[in-house]
Amino acid sequence: MTDTSNLVLEVKNLKTVFFTNSGLFKAVDDVSFTVSRGETLAIVGESGCGKSVTALSLMRLVPDPPGRIVGGSVTLEGSDLLALNEAGMRKIRGNRISMIFQEPMTSLNPVMRIGDQIVEAVRLHRNVSSKEAQTIAVEMLRLVRIPEPVRRAREYPHQLSGGMRQRAMIAMALACRPALLIADEPTTALDVTIQAQILALILDLQKELGTGLVLITHDLGVVAQTAQRVIVMYAGRKVEEASVEALFAAPKHPYTRGLMASIPAVPASGVAAQERLNEIPGTVPSLVRLPPGCAFAPRCKLAIKRCEAEYPPLADWGGGHLAACWRAAEVAEVA
């Protein structure tokens, strides 16, 4: 359904596992998706669902050992990233594909000026003089709407506020005009008014530069406001994929539905005093001891015998709306 000529990223059957003392666990298990030019794909899920490991796998940054990508392919602009050697990957990383992280303070070098950090990224990938790179750095800081970019370029990360640091990170990530930007919980550490600013900025720049965007978040509100398509992950698997409109209008997977029901909403016109929320009982299962069937079955109201025995395949419910649930047809009627 997506135009293949516009495809920036194609991930097929990605599998990333970790070898630990307590056993092998599949952090990412058979996950496939695509991202087109200028498109925003959101990956949602709770902690431990594999969304961040998916991102790290795309960047080939999974710590090895204990982790390893054991299967699948990651195709960026036609070339398979998993087939590249480390030197080849280094040419791509920060150049064609870059990433911004949740906590800007830990991902910036604390003893290097902001401007110099951007210069470093630029000069690594582009054949420009130090002077030209300086100009580019200041231009990038201006692009991410940092006031007084010339002065800020000479400052160190600790002199910037959290929001400003995240802007600097974005400037660095976009300095080489990558085809794909991965944002892993880019606003989770920020206050809500700053979050709104940063999300608006990312979307503006994406439109301006035509970058493909993979946005990883746990916040369904952020998903609704930014993405065109959404992947829902649970215990390492993709359990649902749909356009953002279809997903919020009619979620097919009981987990997605439960997640949506359990988020407290800011009432537009007031709520009754102390409204109980719908909760999903239980907790996320340990990835080391996953049940043979659907990993969500122990917490699912709709679970039947079959759910515990057999993992449900991803089925297409029309218009590219995929869901892995034996009872997807009944989800809408029951809840």
Sheet of 322-323, strand order: 97-100, 180-184, 212-217, 40-44, 229-234, 237-243, 322-323, 315-316
Cα(244)–Cα(20) distance, integer angstroms = 36
Rounded to the nearest whole angstrom, what is the least distance from the CB of residue 69 to other proteins in the complex? 26
Residue selected from 3, 86, 275, 333 as contacting other proteins according to rule CB under 8 A = 275
Separation CA 211–CA 191 (nearest Å): 26
Q: Pick one of 38, 197, 298, 335: the residue that binds other proteins (CB under 8 A).
A: 197
Q: Which is nearer to other proteins, 133 or 223 (CB)?
A: 223
Considering only CA atoms, which of 299, 317, 316, 321 is closest in space to residue 308?
Answer: 299
Determine if 22 is a binding residue for other proteins (CB under 8 A): no
CB of 248 to other proteins, least distance (A): 5
Q: Does 186 bind other proteins (CB under 8 A)?
A: no
In this structure, what DSSP letter does residue 193 have?
H
Q: Which residues of 185-217 are buried (b: 16+ CB within 10 A; e: fewer)?
A: bbbebbeeebbebbbebbbebbeeeebbbbbbb
Min separation Cβ 187 and other proteins, Å: 9
- Report if residue 335 touches other proteins, rule: CB under 8 A: no
The residue within the footprint of other proteins, chosen from 3, 78, 266, 289 (CB under 8 A), is 266
Residues 318, 259: Cα–Cα separation, whole Å: 22
Residues 35-64 that bind other proteins (CB under 8 A): 46-47
Q: Nearer to other proteins by C-beta: 261 or 309?
A: 261
**Residue 214 in contact with residue 186, Cβ under 8 Å?**
no
- # residues near other proteins by CB under 8 A: 52
Is 106 a binder of other proteins (CB under 8 A)? Answer: no
- Give residues in contact with other proteins (CB under 8 A): 46-47, 161-164, 191-197, 199-200, 203, 218-226, 244-245, 248, 258-260, 262-271, 273-281, 283-284
